[in-house]
Amino acid sequence: MIQDAGEIVRDAIVHAEICIVGGGPAGITLAMTLARAGHGVLLLESGDLGARDEAQDLNAGEVADESLHSPPDKYRQRCLGGATSIWGGRCVPFDPIDFKARPWIDHSGWPIGYDEVEPYYAGANALCEAGEFEYDARLAIQGGMRPLLRGFTPRHFDLNGIERFSCPTNFGRRYEAGLRAAGNVRVLLRATVTHLQSSRDGSRIESLHVRNVRDIGFSVTADQFVLAIGGIETPRLMLTSNDVQTNGIGNANDLVGRFYMCHIAGTIGSLQVNGGSDQVWHGYDVAPDGTYCRRRIALRPDVQSAMGLGNAVFRLHHPRIADPRHRTGPLSAIFLAQKFISYEYAKRLVSDVPPTPALWMRHGLNAVSDPISTVRFLGHWLRDRTLAERKFPSIIIRPRTNLFSLDFHAEQVPNPGSRITLGSAVDIFGNRQVRIDWHYTRQDVETVARSFDLLRDDIARQAIGNLSLAAGERDIEDVVRRDGAYGGHHIGTARMAASAASGVIDRDCKVFGINNLYVAGSAAFSTSSQANPTLTIVALALRLAHHLNSIVNRTSNVRVTEQSMVVSEL
Ligand SMILES: Cc1cc2nc3c(=O)[nH]c(=O)nc-3n(C[C@H](O)[C@H](O)[C@H](O)COP(=O)(O)OP(=O)(O)OC[C@H]3O[C@@H](n4cnc5c(N)ncnc54)[C@H](O)[C@@H]3O)c2cc1C
């Protein structure tokens, strides 16, 4: 059932066998899987069915350097479904190398291997509605997918790995009916957890303090608790809960909130492909089940190892939209329509150049001098993106000139100095807001710079074309700073590790030293990979559900008590 927390009376005690905090993809996956296994589950979600300002305001906070990282109320959504209410749906599994201890990357190495996550990826793919778990271009579609660059067999990159796209599935909307119908799940909306109350000896969480939007407080007790509130809110809540352990929950070694990673990502270079437009296929192939699939240019693991680099991928991309020299009507139309694009998408598409009147004029000219392709593009976007249930994933435009740019998406290495702490301002419940102090490292810059050089050399060696850096890109660090922390990927702030000396949670996602508190979501990741996080978040949530199922006795149901009187029982 789904209920508004406003219906819970002041000072009530709600009890559940398993309490999950946060109704994003991690929390919803856990709730549905545990309920199916017969457990009584309480899911507490701070937001409503859709995003509302009063809940979004709880995401506010400060950023040490806003030129490098967006404000924390952007790229996050307080509603059932969490950030999947606005995500792009790109699904990619981690690579086996991501889990390994790599001597050239400090703090690398998960306490679990790829083989322990792999069994859950197929289920994650299904929940994300990204088709079957097949990420090899030769197998994903019968007869294989089209080649990216005809005749290109690079030395340092693999072209057979693909990304698959979710609808993109909004977990809140998609699974709302199932949650409503489940007899042993109670979802409380507009229920913000403000404090984790630990036992006096700090070994257990005894209860949660919860506030509804009318600031009426009640408590939740449970046998097991899971935090599934995203990579920024997880350290905030753990650090805020400092009445028993003065450093905060699970923070005896000052590791909560450290190692904060996003991805190093953006658009770089220009690639002039030799020959005609039939030499290139940078668009999507469609799997029999309708899933959009696309090849990537992935830095091979042996090259990462030999050259001491992080993991990285490139994609062929249209020329930079803001630069009118592309003379492409549809791209200029997107530039002109930027006011109608949400902050999260406009930031990367168009905002790297200040929009002067002269620039607007040049884009206007491009749009009117290329009317047929502009109108055709708008029709395609309306039909295949706006109105379609499975949406066309991104802007794919074939440049008339065979001139492309490259999208890169690279691992950010773990760095204890990149950090989330508590800021000075407080939210409406009196809790300190978050402070984000994100940093990249020299190694992050090197991963992008060296990978770009290797790709340029591979392309030149086989006379595929000419890859070069644009004028403002000679120093790759400038490119990294220009594009800043990739939004929406909040990783590593309660990292998994072999021991409490190097992380916050153990291989089962349990907080070190606390018997009944678990973390789900990308806060749990030890390293960031080249891959977008959500498929792995969902796979790890399925793995955690499996673990909880094995340790929890199915004894108690969800019940709500007011003082000692039972008000309702499921
Ligand atoms: C614009 C954008 C595009 C993206 N595109 C992609 C993509 O293509 N591929 C990909 O893999 N990932 C993508 N992502 C990232 C993806 O959305 C996240 O990885 C994913 O949503 C994280 O899931 P989660 O459940 O861990 O956290 P969230 O989705 O953040 O959900 C956490 C939930 O917890 C709730 N909550 C927070 N604090 C509390 C509290 N104190 N009490 C109760 N509830 C609380 C929140 O309201 C929220 O509903 C994108 C993100 C954005 C913003």
Q: Write the pLDDT tens digit of every residue in 371-409.
A: 888 899 999 999 999 999 999 999 888 877 888 999 999
Determine whether the shortest distance from the Cβ of 367 to ligand 1 is under 6 A.
no
Tokens describing residue 417: 């100095």
Q: What is the pLDDT of residues 504-530, one digit of tens each?
A: 999 999 999 999 999 999 999 999 999
Determine whether the shortest distance from the Cβ of 51 to ligand 1 is under 6 A.
no
Gap between the terminal Cα atoms of the chain: 10
Give the number of other CB atoms < 10 A from CB of residue 280.
Answer: 23
CB 322, CB 359: distance < 8 Å: yes
What percent of the chain is predicted at pLDDT more than 70?
A: 96
540 has a pLDDT exceeding 90: yes
Determine whether the shortest distance from the Cβ of 172 to ligand 1 is under 6 A.
no
267 domain residue, yes or no = no
271 domain residue, yes or no = no
- Ligand 1 mean position, distance from CA 494 (Å): 16
26 has a pLDDT exceeding 70: yes
Determine whether the shortest distance from the Cβ of 129 to ligand 1 is under 6 A.
no
Query: 476-483 and 442-461 helices cross at what angle (nearest 10)?
Result: 120
pLDDT at 560 (0 to 100): 52
Q: Given ligand 1 and candidates 42, 166, 534, which is best to mutate, with the most ligand atoms within 8 Å of its CB?
A: 534
What gap in Å lies between CA 343 and CA 244, rounded to an integer? Answer: 40
Determine whether the shortest distance from the Cβ of 44 to ligand 1 is under 6 A.
yes
pLDDT band at 415 (very low <50, low <70, confident <90, very high): very high
CB 271, CB 455: distance < 8 Å: no
Determine whether the shortest distance from the Cβ of 87 to ligand 1 is under 6 A.
yes
**Residue 361: burial class (beta carbons within 10 Å; 0-12, 13-18, 19+):** exposed
Atom of ligand 1 nearest to the CA of 534: 11
pLDDT band at 204 (very low <50, low <70, confident <90, very high): very high
Atom of ligand 1 nearest to the CA of 172: 49
330 domain residue, yes or no = no
Tokens describing residue 226: 């899971």
- Ligand 1 mean position, distance from CA 385 (Å): 22
Write down the mean pLDDT value for the chain. 93
The whole-number average pLDDT for the span 445-457 is 97
260 has a pLDDT exceeding 80: yes
Atom of ligand 1 nearest to the CA of 533: 11
pLDDT at 65 (0 to 100): 96
Query: By alpha-carbon position, which residue is closest to atom 48 of ligand 1?
Result: 82
110 domain residue, yes or no = yes
Determine whether the shortest distance from the Cβ of 45 to ligand 1 is under 6 A.
yes
Determine whether the shortest distance from the Cβ of 269 to ligand 1 is under 6 A.
no
What gap in Å lies between CA 452 and CA 443, rounded to an integer? Answer: 14
Q: What is the pLDDT of residues 67-103, one digit of tens each?
A: 999 999 999 999 999 999 999 999 999 999 999 999 9
Atom of ligand 1 nearest to the CA of 27: 25
Q: Smallest Cα–Cα separation from 493: which of 422, 410, 408, 409?
A: 422
Determine whether the shortest distance from the Cβ of 76 to ligand 1 is under 6 A.
yes
Total number of domains constituting the chain: 1
Atom of ligand 1 nearest to the CA of 342: 1
Atom of ligand 1 nearest to the CA of 523: 26
pLDDT at 563 (0 to 100): 44
Q: What is the pLDDT of residues 212-256, one digit of tens each?
A: 977 789 999 999 999 999 999 999 999 999 999 999 999 999 999
pLDDT at 565 (0 to 100): 34
Determine whether the shortest distance from the Cβ of 24 to ligand 1 is under 6 A.
yes
527 domain residue, yes or no = yes
What gap in Å lies between CA 242 and CA 234, rounded to an integer? Answer: 14
Determine whether the shortest distance from the Cβ of 448 to ligand 1 is under 6 A.
no
Q: What is the pLDDT of residues 305-363, one digit of tens each?
A: 999 999 999 999 888 888 888 888 988 988 888 888 888 777 767 656 677 888 899 99
- Ligand 1 mean position, distance from CA 24 (Å): 6
321 domain residue, yes or no = no
pLDDT band at 209 (very low <50, low <70, confident <90, very high): very high
27 has a pLDDT exceeding 80: yes
Determine whether the shortest distance from the Cβ of 58 to ligand 1 is under 6 A.
no
Determine whether the shortest distance from the Cβ of 82 to ligand 1 is under 6 A.
yes
- Ligand 1 mean position, distance from CA 230 (Å): 6
pTM score > 0.85 for this model?
A: yes
Q: Are strands 192-198 and 205-211 parallel, antiparallel or unpaired?
A: antiparallel
224 domain residue, yes or no = yes
Determine whether the shortest distance from the Cβ of 83 to ligand 1 is under 6 A.
yes
The whole-number average pLDDT for the span 121-127 is 98
pLDDT band at 20 (very low <50, low <70, confident <90, very high): very high
pLDDT at 314 (0 to 100): 98
- Ligand 1 mean position, distance from CA 231 (Å): 8
Give phi and psi for 93, each to the nearest 5: -75, 160
454 domain residue, yes or no = no
Question: Residue 560: which domain range?
Answer: 2-62+70-130+166-262+412-440+484-564
Q: Given ligand 1 and candidates 32, 86, 87, 263, which is best to mutate, with the most ligand atoms within 8 Å of its CB?
A: 87
510 or 564, which is more confident: 510
Q: Given ligand 1 and candidates 29, 46, 170, which is best to mutate, with the most ligand atoms within 8 Å of its CB?
A: 46
- Ligand 1 mean position, distance from CA 85 (Å): 8
User: What CATH number is attached to the domain comprising 178?
Assistant: 3.50.50.60
Name the DSSP class of 483. H
